[in-house]
Amino acid sequence: MLENLLNITNEIDFEDFGSLALTAAEANGDTLRLSLHITGDEYPEIHQNWQVLCSRVREDSLSLGDHYELQFFDDHVLLWPHLALRTSTSFYGKPDNPLAVVGALYQRHKELVGEWLPFQRFLNSEIGLPELVSGGFGMLADGPEPLVLAYEEVMRSHGFTTSHLDPRKPVYWGGNRGDDGYQWIEQKAPAFVLILDDSYVVGEQFLASPV
């Protein structure tokens, strides 16, 4: 039924001829239940109230209220932290202008992922980036391989020597109370992302139904 919901929302211009509202988001463990209310001036017959059950949720960032677009992806930068191989990169060298290096890293980050992934998310959190770069060596970042390797390219273009660890499979923090407790578990199943403008849910299964 998710396809039906997406077909309905793709037909309506919510900026001028209807409304798409996220009215509630209820969490229960790694399950999230979203409530949507839809109206369309040119589609008075559509079912207005929908529920989306998001299962095995890995990450979410949601804002209640009006939205203008509903999208669903199996390939998106929001999935990199959960599906992409991971690696970390270190560097060595002395820059002429550390702030120019910081600016170049920021620019490359925005080119790849826009505002979807915060710039600081995968960078070394033990020290500020300008101080780290000025110091001339250290571990720069640990995260999704496509992003970390892009950081490496920037560092090399500014005269640094870099190296990275062999890529490893993505994991998530999970488990069941009563057995071995929570632990790092390898992400084996596919994951998807449901996006409402700049709100989103990353999970393994999404089921929509009219209510």
pLDDT reported for residue 44: 85
pLDDT reported for residue 175: 64
pLDDT reported for residue 172: 85
Closest CA to 45 of 70, 8, 79, 73: 8
pTM for the whole structure: 0.92
Give percent of the chain with pLDDT exceeding 90: 82
Backbone angles phi, psi at 204, to 5 degrees: -95, -25
The string of DSSP codes covering 96-140 is S-HHHHHHHHHHHHHHHHTTSS-TTTTB-TTS-HHHHHHHSEEEE
Q: Convert the pLDDT of each residue in 146-188 to its tens digit.
A: 999 999 999 999 999 999 999 999 988 876 554 566 788 888 8
Q: Report whether pLDDT(15) > 90.
A: no
What are the structural domain ranges in the chain?
2-76+189-210, 85-164
pLDDT reported for residue 178: 47
Rounded average pLDDT over 78-104? 96
Rounded to the nearest integer, the mean pLDDT of the chain is 93
Around Cβ 17, how many Cβ atoms within 10 Å? 12
Name beta bridge partners: 163.
90
Stretch among 39-43, 138-142, 189-193 having the lowest mean pLDDT: 39-43
pLDDT reported for residue 180: 61
State in words which class domain 85-164 has: alpha beta
